[in-house]
Amino acid sequence: MKTVLAVLESTAKYFADRGVESPRLNIDLLLAHVLGIKRRMDLYMVFDRPLSDHELDTLRDFVKRRSQGEPLQHLLGTVEFHGREFFCDRRALVPRPETERFVELILKFPLPDDARCIDVGTGSGIIALTLAAERPNARVQAVDRSGNALRLARDNAAKLGLTERVELRQGDLLATCPGPFDLVAANLPYIPTGDIAGLAREVQHDPMIALDGGADGLAVVARCVTEAHERLAPGGRIALEIGHDQAAAVNTLLTDAGFSNVESVRDYQEVERFAFAMKT
């Protein structure tokens, strides 16, 4: 029978040959998941353990799907974000490291202790739920037009014990959310329609509704900027996660809408990924 070590080594090579990024990390996490091992490092304590036929069959299915581009997070069913575990599946975007940086920056804003916050296009609820968990006195809402995404957000709220703390609404941007708010945060669709076909195969598993930003990628963002300015309280802030080449255009949108203190902030890869502004 094949041992844990043998499977790790052979599958890491298989993944590498098929262009899977971080091949050893991928098989480590998948095999740990199959074996019910909570910590990746604990695999190293059972290198000589043989795998049963059932375990191998389960793993082979995961390996096939991962090698074909299905996101690791979908296979595992969860993702870690800002120190918490969230459910993750094809109902919403897979959270990415830049969004974690986005939340870190938002948490540094000098907002009132009981700030009225809304996460627009909440998807899995990761931004709204993290804000609620980190700011226990904040009043947090989250809105999305996708019923599937909202069901996932509700699952995550229940998982984290935040069902009573975050109000989830279905609607198009801020149409059903009159405010006023101290913070509008949004990670909206910003991929130009013509670029979607060329995205990485993992991204192709994300819902199209969460990717397609129209011809220039900014159709949804532009509407959100206008609606946010109408609903923010004086001194309120807007925070946007945007495309890698959209900072100048988004800053213009914010300025034209009447915002002040407009700034672009780089992510950990030195990409101008975030736009912040204030309503005066």
Whether 244 shows a pLDDT value over 90: the answer reads: yes
Residue 239 in any domain: the answer is yes
Half-sphere exposure of 254 (CA within 13 A, CB side): 25
Q: Which tens digit of pLDDT belongs to each residue from 138-183?
A: 999 999 999 999 999 999 999 999 999 999 999 999 999 988 999 9
AA letter at 19? G
DSSP 8-state secondary structure symbol assigned to residue 114: T
pLDDT surpasses 90 at 278: yes
Beta bridge partners of 139: 116
* pLDDT tens per residue, range 258-271: 999 999 999 999 99
**Residues 169 and 264 placed together within one structural domain of the fold:** yes
**Confidence check: pLDDT of 106 > 90:** yes
If asked whether residues 45 and 152 sit together in one domain, one would say no
Mark whether 123 and 192 lie in a shared domain: yes
The answer to whether residue 43 scores a pLDDT higher than 90 is yes
The verdict on 119 and 206 lying in the same domain is yes
Range of the domain at 203: 82-278
Q: Domain for residue 154, yes or no?
A: yes
Q: Considering 14, 39, 68, which residue would you say is the last residue of a domain?
A: 68
Under DSSP, the state recorded for 171 is: S
Return the half-sphere exposure (C-beta side, CA atoms, 13 A cut-off) of residue 159: 19
N-to-C CA span, the chain: 68
Helix (H/G/I), strand (E/B), else coil: 172: coil
- What CATH number does the domain containing 159 carry? 3.40.50.150
Question: pLDDT-derived band of residue 274, with 50, 70 and 90 as boundaries?
Answer: very high
pLDDT cut 90: percent of the chain above it: 98
Question: Position 199: which residue type?
Answer: L
On average, the pLDDT of the chain sits at 96
Domain identity same for 150 and 208: yes
Q: pLDDT: is 160 or 38 the higher one?
A: 160
Q: Count structural domains, the chain.
A: 2
What pLDDT is recorded for position 52?
A: 96
Residues 149 and 104 grouped into a single domain: yes
| pLDDT surpassing 90 at residue 205 | yes
Cis link prior to 136 (omega < 30° from 0)? no
Pairing type for strands 181-187 and 116-120 reads parallel
* 99 and 44 co-located in one domain: no
Report the C-alpha gap between 156 and 126 in whole angstroms.
8
Can you give the pLDDT at residue 167?
Answer: 98
Cα–Cα distance between 265 and 98 in angstroms, integer? Answer: 11
Q: According to the model, what pLDDT value does residue 237 have?
A: 98
Is residue 217 one of the residues assigned to a domain? yes
97 and 47 housed in the same domain: no
8-20 CB burial, b ≥16 within 10 A, e <16: beebbebbeeeeb
Within a domain: 77: no
Is residue 115 domain-shared with residue 174, that is, in the same domain? Answer: yes
pLDDT at residue 1 greater than cutoff 90: no
- Residues above pLDDT 70, as percent of the chain: 100
Is the CB of residue 236 less than 8 Å from the CB of residue 182?
Answer: yes
248: Cβ–Cβ under 8 A, 6 or more apart, which residues?
none
Whole-number Å distance between alpha carbons of 137 and 117: 11
pTM of the model: 0.93
- The tokens of 116 are what? 């009225």
User: What average pLDDT does range 213-227 have in this prediction?
Assistant: 97
CA distance 59 to 29: 11
Closest CA to 237 of 156, 131, 123, 165: 131
Measured over all CA atoms, what is the biggest interatomic distance in the chain, rounded to whole angstroms? 68
Last residue of a domain, one of 15, 34, 68: 68
Boundary residue ending a domain (41, 68, 95)? 68
* pLDDT recorded at residue 60: 97
Strand partners, 274: 241, 265
List pLDDT tens digits, range 76-86: 999 999 999 99
Same domain, 61 and 154: no
- pLDDT tier at 42 (50, 70, 90 boundaries)? very high
